[in-house]
Amino acid sequence: MVHPQPDPPAPAAADAPKPPSPKPAANHQQPVDHVDFQSRLSSPPYRLTDPRWDHIVIALKSGIEVAADKVPIQLATFLQGVKNIWLFGDGVMRVGDYEMVDVVTGTYDAAVKRLEKQGRLEAARAWSPMKVKYEEEQKKKKQQKKKEQKNGGKLVKRDVSPTQESPLSVRLEKRAKTDIEVKPDQESMGWKNDAHKNIPAIRELVNRYPGAEWYVMIDDDTYVFMENLNRVLHPLNPDEPHYLGAPNTFRDCDGVTEMGDGPLFNHGGSGIVLSRGAAREMLKIVDECIVRYHDCFAGDVRLGLCLRDAGILANYKYPGRRWFNPVTPHWTTHPYYDDPCKRVVTFHHLSKATMQKLYDIERYVHNRTISIAARHARDKLDLVNPTTTPHLFFSNGTQPNVFSHLSLPPHLPSPFSAPIHLEDMWYHFVDTDAQLPDIEHGIARAGEQYLVYTGTKDAKHCRWLCSREERCVAWHFIPNGRCEVKDSVTRPIRTRGHASGLIKGRFRCKARTY
C-alpha cells in the first residue's frame, strides 16, 4: 500500500520566530558521536583529481611495519591527482584515509580448499602445460640460433654495461639522503611476506575496480610520472592482454636453474602494468597460481609465471627498454643510455627526500610548460591538438573542464600535467649536482662508446678529448692509454686504475613533446 506524502510546511515569514530546538528526554544522554564512524572512513574525502587518469588504478604494495612511514610521501606527491588508489599488504591498518587490505593471511589455505572442492588441486601442484610449451619453443629457438651461428661465422658480441650495483655508496655517506638508493629491510615481516602479495592482489583489484582499464602495481618506494604513464598507455587497447614494465630474467623458480632459460617477468619495484584484458585472463587461474608458485622467492616472478600460464608474456616490444626503471635517477645508479627526450615513467628505491625532489621537478616542469604555452600563444603557434597530442584529451576531442576555474593555458589539461623528459632528470641530478667530480677515479663506465682514442696520457687527457667533442657526454679512461668517448652514460663499476667522468650541460632534448 502506498501512503500519500504529506504536504510540505508553508514557508515561515521572514520575521517569524524560529521554533525552539527539541530538548532530549530527561534521563537520555545525547551521544557524542551519533554517526557511524567506520562508514565515514570507508572512502577518502573528495579530492581534486585528474579525470584523464580515472581509467587507471594504482595498487600500492607495502607492509604493515613500514606503510605508515613510506606511503604518506607518495600520497602527498604524485598520487595527489589519482582518483583510484588501493593499498594492499600483509595486514590491516590505515594510512591517512586509506585502509590497507590484507591479501596474505589465509590466502593460500583458501585457494587450496577451493581447488579441492573443484577437483583441481593435483593439477595445480603439477607443472603448468604452458611451461612445457614454452620450454619446447625456447629449445627450438636455441637450436636455430646455434645453426645460424655455425653457418654465419663469428658471433658478434656487443659491449654492454654491467649490471652490478653502484660502487659509490661508500663515498656518499656524508651526502644528503636525497639521492641515495633505499633498499628494503629484508628482515622485516613485510619483506618476508612480499612474495605472497602480488597474485592475490590482482583478484582483489578486479573485484574492487571492475570498470578500470589499467591496473598498475607499484612498491612503496616507487615514483610514477602519471602524465607519462597515461601517454604510454593511450595508444593501447585495454581489452587486449598487455603486460608492461621492466622485463627481467630469473632463476630458482619453476625449475629454472640458469638466467634466461625461463620467461621474462616484469620487475615489481619498477612498476607492473596489466590491462583489463590481461587481468581477466589471469583471474581464470589465480588459485592454481597461488598454490603452484607458493615456494617461489619473489612475488613479481610468481606474477610473471602466472601470466605465462595464462598465455601472456613480458617482452621488450612496447614501450621498449628503460621506461620503467629499477633504480634512482642519480648519476651513481641510473644509466642515461637513451634519448634525452624519452618520457620515462617510473623510478625505484627512492628515499622520501628523493620523492619530494621528483615532485618538485614535476612542479618546475609544469610551470615551465605554462611559460612555453604563453610564448606559443603570443606567436600564434598551435602547441597541441587532439591529433598530435591525443593523451591530453578525452576520446571525443574535448579536454577536462573540472579545472576551468584555475585559468590554465589552453593546452594544459590539468594542474597535474607535467611532461617529464629524461633531460629533466639529467639537469636536476647531474648538471646541478655540485658533488659530481670532474674525474671519478677508480671507476669504469664500460660500453656505449662511439669513438676510441689510443695513446692517451692520463684521465685528464681523456676528459679533454671528450670535452672538445660536442656529442660526448661521458668518457672512460683505461690504464693502457685507451680513451672511450660516449654519447650515453653507463653504470659505474669500481675498477682499479680506471677513471671516468660526465660532461655537464651536454644531455639535451631538442624536440620536447607534450
For position 169, what pLDDT does the model report? Answer: 34
Q: Tell me how far apart the 2 most distant CA atoms of the chain are, in Å.
A: 103
User: CB atoms < 10 A from the CB of 337, how many?
Assistant: 19
All residues at 6 or more sequence positions from 514 whose CB lies less than 8 Å from its CB, including other chains: 369, 383, 384, 389, 392, 411, 419
Residues 308 and 283: their CA atoms lie apart, in Å, by: 13
Cβ density class 257-273: b for 16+ within 10 Å, e for less: eeeebbbbbbbbbbbbb
Give this prediction's pTM: 0.79
Residues 292 and 219: their CA atoms lie apart, in Å, by: 24
For position 14, what pLDDT does the model report? Answer: 44
For position 400, what pLDDT does the model report? Answer: 53
For position 386, what pLDDT does the model report? Answer: 59
* Contact yes or no for 331/164 (Cβ under 8 A): no
For position 6, what pLDDT does the model report? Answer: 45
Which grid coordinates belong to 349? 628505491
For position 168, what pLDDT does the model report? Answer: 35
Residues 257 and 234: their CA atoms lie apart, in Å, by: 38
- E strand intervals along 257-407: 265-266, 272-275, 346-347
Positions in the chain whose pLDDT score sits under 70: 1-46, 132, 146-181, 183-191, 374-413
For position 398, what pLDDT does the model report? Answer: 58
For position 27, what pLDDT does the model report? Answer: 41
Residues 279 and 57: their CA atoms lie apart, in Å, by: 12
User: CB atoms < 10 A from the CB of 91, how many?
Assistant: 18
For position 82, what pLDDT does the model report? Answer: 95
In the chain, what are the domains?
Answer: 48-128+177-351 (3.90.550), 437-502 (3.50.4.10)
Which grid coordinates belong to 116? 579441492
All residues at 6 or more sequence positions from 270 whose CB lies less than 8 Å from its CB, including other chains: 222, 245, 246, 324, 325, 326, 346, 348
The per-residue pLDDT for range 253-298, each reduced to its tens digit, is 998 989 988 999 999 999 999 999 999 999 999 999 999 999 999 9
User: CB atoms < 10 A from the CB of 378, how many?
Assistant: 8
For position 196, what pLDDT does the model report? Answer: 94
Prior bond to 409 cis, omega within 30?
no
For position 407, what pLDDT does the model report? Answer: 52
> Residue type for 76, please?
A
